[in-house]
Structure 1
Amino acid sequence: MPHIDIKCFPRDLNDEQKTALAADIAETIARHLGSKDSSISVALNHVEPEAWKSEVWDTEIAPNMASLIKKPGYEM
C-alpha cells in the first residue's frame, strides 16, 4: 500500500496537472514495486519557502539522510 507524500514550494497547478502528476507517479511506483494502481495514494502538500527548514528539512530530511535513496543536492 504505497503512499507518496510530495512536499514542495507552492505551485500553481490546475486539477488536470495534479491528476497527471499523480498518474505518472503511480505508474512508476506500480512498475517498480509491483503495486496495484488501486493501492497507491499520492498527496501534494505545499510548504512555504520560509517554512521548509523547520517543517521538512529538520523533521523529515536531515534525520533520515542515511536512509534516503535520493539525497538532496543542497544543505541547510
Structure 2
Amino acid sequence: MPHVDIKCFTRDLTDEQKSALAEDITKVIIRHLQSKDSSVSIALNEIEPDAWQAVWDAEIAPKMDALIKKPGYSM
C-alpha cells in the first residue's frame, strides 16, 4: 500500500489546493506503481523553517543512498 509522507515548509494551502495536490500525487502513484486509488494514502506535514534541521538530520542525511531524488542542497 503506497503511503506518501510529504514534509515541506508551511504553505497555507487551502483545502482545495490540498485536494488537488493529493489527486495529482495519487495519479502518479497509480501510473508508476500500478496501485489502486483506494490503496494510496498521503500525509502533508508542514514544518517551520527553523525546524527543518531536525528533518534533515533524521530523515534525509542518513537515508541519502535510498532517496530516489536527492536534494540539491545540504545542511
TM-score interval (norm. to shorter): over 0.9
Residue 68 of structure 1: CA displacement? 0.5
- Aligned residue pairs, count: 75
Report what 1:46 is aligned to.
46
Runs of 4+, deviation exceeding 2 Å: none
Residue 9 of structure 1: CA displacement? 0.3
> Structure 2 stretches of 5 or more lacking a match?
none
What SS does the aligned partner of 2:4 have? Answer: strand
Pairwise CA RMSD: 0.4
What is the alpha-carbon distance in structure 1 between the residues aligned to residue 3 and residue 10 of structure 2? Answer: 20
Return the letter of the residue paired with 2:19: T
Residue 12 of structure 1: CA displacement? 1.4
Question: What TM-score, normalized to structure 1?
Answer: 0.97
Report what 1:70 is aligned to.
69
Question: What TM-score, normalized to structure 2?
Answer: 0.98
> Structure 1 stretches of 5 or more lacking a match?
none
Report what 2:8 is aligned to.
8
